Amino acid sequence: MARRGKRAFLEAAGALHPHPERVQAPPFRQHRFFDPLDKVQVKYEMVRAHVVDDEPVVRVAQEFGVTRETVYATTRRLAGRGMLGLVDQKRGRKRPLKVTPAMRDFMVDARRRDPTLGAPALAEQVATEFGVTVHKKTVERVLAAGGGKKNRGRRRRGRGRARRGLLHVGRRGPRAL
pLDDT, one tens digit per residue, over 97-113 is 778 889 999 999 999 99
Structural domain boundaries in the chain: 3-86, 101-146
Mean pLDDT is lowest, of 18-32, 38-52, 126-140, 153-167, for 153-167
What percent of the chain has a predicted confidence (pLDDT) above 70?
Answer: 78
Please, which pLDDT band fits residue 169 given cuts at 50, 70 and 90? low
Does the pLDDT of residue 1 top 60, yes or no? no
CA angle 75, 63, 51 (to 5 degrees): 30
Nearest CA to 149 among 125, 117, 102, 103?
Answer: 117
What single letter denotes the amino acid at residue 111?
Answer: R
Q: What is the pTM of this model?
A: 0.52
Helix axes 39-51, 68-81, angle to 10 degrees: 90
User: Residue 167: beta bridge partners?
Assistant: 176
Reported as half-sphere exposure (CB side, CA atoms, 13 A), residue 75 has a value of 18
Residues 6+ apart with CB under 8 A from 110: 117, 122, 125
Q: What is the pLDDT of residues 47-97, one digit of tens each?
A: 999 999 999 999 999 999 999 999 999 999 999 999 888 888 776 776 667
Does the pLDDT of residue 154 top 50, yes or no? no
